[in-house]
Structure 1
Amino acid sequence: MKSDTKRILFFVPEWPALASGVLHSQVLSVARFLSESGFECLFVGCEVSDEKATEAGKKVFDVYGIQAFIYGIHSEKHGYVGRLLTARKVYRLTQALVRSFRPTHVYSRSLVGSAYARRIAADSDVISIFDVRGASSEEVKLKRASGGLRYWYIRYLEKKEFRKADRLSCVSKNLRGYIGAQVGRKTISVIPSCVDQNKFFFDREARKEIRAGYGLADDCKLICYCGGLSAWQRVGDIISLFEKLTGSNTQYRFLFVTKQTQQLQKLLGTTTLSKESYFVESCAQDEVYRYLSAADAGIIMRDDTVVNNVASPIKIGEYLGCGLPIILTKGIGDFSELIPQAGIGLLLDEAVDLVGQVNAFMCRLDIEEVRNHCVKFSHEHFAIESYLQEYELLYS
């Protein structure tokens, strides 16, 4: 081993290593990329049993080529306190492993993980990295009207980790500004939630096949929503917009790609949308690109709050990677400004007629022309390869 090889310990025991899609798309995929780029990576995580831990370790190595040590001590009980106790146990169990691996950097991506990643880094006299994904205290306030004591506690922990982690990375320029306003730090890397370009791309044959299966004429406009049904995803508002659009133009059709098909079908059954106007699909993650390729636009709606202002929704990169222009609302990370400026989307003004805005946008949309611009934008802003220089600086 070369003495100047950077060795990164990914310390992420907060989520079950098999079940967490976020862990796979935003941590392990990054570890694989860095490993392929000359870094040496080791993953430490948890599962709910020794059997699942063994399965997870094998999967991490087989899929990502990363050596992993997974401990079967994860518990879903007790929320934040449970995650804290789990992280402490893993910290104690990995001390010999850390000495053997001799990391140069210790990565974490939550307040819980950062607290113990800093301990590991201090024990080894190396650099701790806190990958900040959002405004945790503001998320608490959003869920609880006044925030309460939990809000102030999380805010205290947030500021503590912002100050004490050796280096910070975050997902948007807006989040960098938020952190700077909280603790005065200015040197913060910005690397958005990246998309695997090998899994999200435009497939012309899939487009033809799926649209033919739906019986769509060439002039039908298919708008797609892809994601979950949580309140913050505003699916009710999206459906309401779809209802109004069908009243203005019979050529609209709507595609929903979600794991929660039964819940969505029940919701759609309470609306004025005819069953012929929409399609509901559930598929494996590696099949999503096929359905996105069939659509003519993607939609994402969020409330204009601090939580969303600093976010970097991976869904935007997935839509664009498959060639879809985006209909979006104000205040979504850096992209509510970037997408319209690049000519690859519509920024809705919710204070005026939404239907008129969407109709005007879809009528002038040349999908073949804009598709290439969307894919190019995705490669430039969401491909992990575009951020190698930032990663090299972060892990220098």
Structure 2
Amino acid sequence: MDDGLTTSTVLPVLDVLESSKEVNKIILITIEREHVKLRTTLTEQSKVQHVPLYSTTGYFSKIKDFTIKQNKLVKILNRYQVNLIIGHSSQAGAMVHKLGKESQVPYIVSLFEPHAAYMLESKVWKHYGLKYKFQKHWENLQKKNAFGLMPVAEGYKQELVSEGIAAERIFVVPCSVEPELFKYDLQRRIEIRRQLSWESATIGIYVGKFGGLYYDNEAFYIYIRCFELIPGFRLLILAPHPQQEIHQQLQKHTLDMAHVHIASVQHHQVAAYLSAADFAFATYKPGSSKKYLSPVKIGEYWANGLPVLLTEGVGDDSDIIQNEGGGATFNLEKEGSLENAIAKIKSILGDPVHRQEIPKLAAKYRSPDKIKEAYSYFFKKLNNKQA
């Protein structure tokens, strides 16, 4: 429950369900490592009861989660007389599908994405591997049996419809951002830049991981080009990796570590660092399935007024940037594409009102109101079905 992705994607949903008159009780079930100390803030909400299920580490932990935990889920379902199950992501949807099938309780999958395709295209999984085959299998079952699916991109809704899934079972909900939590803070900008002695620098920031779905070595090549093309460029990296790993990458690419600041901070601290920056990186590995993403970080960047240097073809955001602004897209396979994108970022930074204009994109495309609309839609459908 303490990771940034949970904070940014689960808590907004809980807020919506908490405020809904249709909901009397919310049982929040999470799989936790035994050594993790859980926050207790969720239990203070009158409708929310957090029931953590503890997992063990090791090769077979996923299998144990799927088998042993399933029995516990059935008991929880019966104890609280649950009449709607929500699986947050297609990975959680695997357990939710089995639970829904056995209990005949309808289920919805939010944050529904083609995770198997993401991992295959990013070369994390192999097409003949068990992880890929199982995940693909469970995604197909969810497509066929879920009462409702909430993909995060319009492009994926279109793909699902083309596969024969009824449009009325689908409601697009991009990963939302709360504008007030990530709004630009001039005072924090001044403080952090002063602490770093980067008062007059042009600062680029990256929040996230390296490897997996994201560029690794390529990301550092992009940083090199920024140092070469942007006068006074400095780099902020907020990443969960051990700092030594990132230091090794900086050394490998002969980047001056005096011009790079690395930190690992809590999610609520990210906004201050965004305020200190001038633009942001969203360096995803390319692939045909990546157009179905809705990166949380892009919504947070936009809410703070930061233009985004984004890999071409990522989510609906790539088209939004090309059509409405808010950054620049690049394709490392196209000669000159990165350099043109960096030039576009520099042009945006020269616009004195860009910091006020870009948050409008977050308000337009990443509003939590979409979550409310989606659940109102599915609650109405469910009530009509049960009437």
TM-score band w.r.t. shorter chain: 0.7 to 0.9
Does 165-174 or 277-286 show the bigger shift?
277-286
For residue 232 of structure 1, give the secondary structure of its aligned residue in structure 2: coil
For residue 309 of structure 2, give the secondary structure of its aligned residue in structure 1: strand
TM-score by length of 2: 0.85
**Structure 2: how far apart are the matches of 1:115 and 1:228?**
25
| Cα drift, residue 159 of structure 1 | 1.3
| Cα drift, residue 268 of structure 1 | 1.0
| Cα drift, residue 358 of structure 1 | 0.7
Contact 2:90 2:112 in 1 (8 A): no
Where do residues 62-73 of structure 1 align in structure 2 (5 Å cutoff)?
Answer: 62=44, 65-73=46-54
**Structure 2: how far apart are the matches of 1:117 and 1:144?**
23
For residue 16 of structure 2, give the secondary structure of its aligned residue in structure 1: helix
Contact 1:31 1:66 in 2 (8 A): no
What's 2:194 paired with? 212
What's 1:257 paired with? 238
Where do residues 173-184 of structure 1 align in structure 2 (5 Å cutoff)?
Answer: 173-184=154-165
Q: Deviations over 1:238-285 (max 9, x none)?
A: 221221232334321111112322321221122222233222222221
What's 1:392 paired with? 376
**Structure 1: how far apart are the matches of 2:246 and 2:34?**
35
Change (3 A) 1:125 1:254: same
| Cα drift, residue 120 of structure 1 | 5.4
What's 1:332 paired with? 314
What's 2:364 paired with? 380
**Structure 2: how far apart are the matches of 1:195 and 1:383?**
6
For residue 28 of structure 1, the aligned residue among 8, 11, 20 is 11
User: Quick check: 1:230 aligned with 2:214?
Assistant: no
**Structure 2: how far apart are the matches of 1:357 and 1:95?**
51
Contact 2:204 2:235 in 1 (8 A): yes
Code of the residue aligned with 1:308 in structure 2: it is: K
Contact 1:162 1:183 in 2 (8 A): no
Change (3 A) 1:182 1:365: same
For residue 347 of structure 1, give the secondary structure of its aligned residue in structure 2: strand
Contact 1:49 1:74 in 2 (8 A): yes
**Structure 2: how far apart are the matches of 1:155 and 1:182?**
14
**Structure 1: how far apart are the matches of 2:208 and 2:95?**
32
Count residues in correspondence: 372
| Cα drift, residue 374 of structure 1 | 1.4
User: Quick check: 1:196 aligned with 2:178?
Assistant: yes
| Cα drift, residue 70 of structure 1 | 1.5
Does 252-261 or 159-168 show the bigger shift?
252-261
What's 2:147 paired with? 166
What's 2:287 paired with? 305
Contact 1:302 1:331 in 2 (8 A): no
Determine what percentage of the aligned residue pairs are the same residue. Answer: 19
For residue 107 of structure 1, give the secondary structure of its aligned residue in structure 2: strand
Contact 1:87 1:112 in 2 (8 A): no
| Cα drift, residue 228 of structure 1 | 1.5
TM-score by length of 1: 0.83
Contact 2:206 2:281 in 1 (8 A): yes
What's 2:79 paired with? 97
What's 2:42 paired with? 60
Change (3 A) 1:234 1:47: closer
**Structure 1: how far apart are the matches of 2:89 and 2:344?**
42
Contact 1:329 1:348 in 2 (8 A): yes
Contact 1:197 1:379 in 2 (8 A): yes
Contact 2:53 2:69 in 1 (8 A): no
User: Quick check: 1:135 aligned with 2:119?
Assistant: no
User: Quick check: 1:42 aligned with 2:42?
Assistant: no
What's 1:291 paired with? 273
| Cα drift, residue 209 of structure 1 | 1.4
| Cα drift, residue 194 of structure 1 | 1.1
Change (3 A) 1:89 1:124: closer
| Cα drift, residue 30 of structure 1 | 0.8
Change (3 A) 1:137 1:83: same
**Structure 2: how far apart are the matches of 1:50 and 1:249?**
46
**Structure 2: how far apart are the matches of 1:213 and 1:343?**
31
Code of the residue aligned with 1:136 in structure 2: it is: H
For residue 267 of structure 1, give the secondary structure of its aligned residue in structure 2: helix
**Structure 1: how far apart are the matches of 2:130 and 2:75?**
32
Change (3 A) 1:29 1:128: same
| Cα drift, residue 390 of structure 1 | 2.7
For residue 198 of structure 1, give the secondary structure of its aligned residue in structure 2: helix
| Cα drift, residue 386 of structure 1 | 4.6
**Structure 2: how far apart are the matches of 1:265 and 1:109?**
35
What's 1:358 paired with? 342
Gaps of 5+ in 1: 1-17
Does 254-263 or 185-194 show the bigger shift?
254-263
Code of the residue aligned with 1:25 in structure 2: it is: S
Contact 1:47 1:70 in 2 (8 A): no
Change (3 A) 1:367 1:36: farther
For residue 302 of structure 1, give the secondary structure of its aligned residue in structure 2: coil
Does 220-229 or 113-122 show the bigger shift?
113-122
